[in-house]
Amino acid sequence: MPKPRVHIATDHAGMELSAHLVAHLRGQGYDVVDHGPREYDPLDDYPSFCINAARAVVADQEAGTQALGIVLGGSGNGEQIAANKVRGVRAALAWNLDTARLAREHNDANVVAVGGRQHSLEEATAIIEAFLTEPFSNDERHVRRIGKIATYETTGEIVE
């Protein structure tokens, strides 16, 4: 299976982790697109970086290009919230290998959020790798549930 294009964004708290991941993933053969920021600013506003990365994931997927996203911050919470505002994004906060794998396997998450202040570089790298390499199960119950979420997202209708 070919490796997906990876869109990555961060805030100031995840810059060290982001730089590490960009280099590591490129070394693993991933096409990595860095959505910033380019320099450290302790007062930066992460939403634009994360939204741009999330929009790029959706645009690639709609164009038929396999793509996933990574958003990083101190906790990953705000970054996940920002990414989830983009129609078509299913961003999951992962804090261990199981939550990263299940986000892909059960929820077909296309963006993962990780807290740079919550993990060592090694732990965070393992979480990201677990997310990027886990396939969606295509199990009917998960497809059905994701469909219900998409219906609400696009129409506002709650499907029972």
Question: Is residue 102 within 8 Å of 93, Cβ to Cβ?
Answer: no
Rounded Cα–Cα distance for residues 55 and 49 (Å)? 10
The answer to whether 106 is a known catalytic residue is yes
Catalytic residue among 7, 35, 79, 119: 79
Catalytic residue among 106, 123, 129, 142: 106
Residues 6 or more apart from 138 whose CB is under 8 A from it? none
The answer to whether 134 is a known catalytic residue is no
**41, amino acid identity:** D
Measuring CA to CA, which residue among 120, 105, 104 is closest to residue 70? Answer: 104
Rounded Cα–Cα distance for residues 157 and 23 (Å)? 43
Please list the active-site residues. Answer: 79, 106
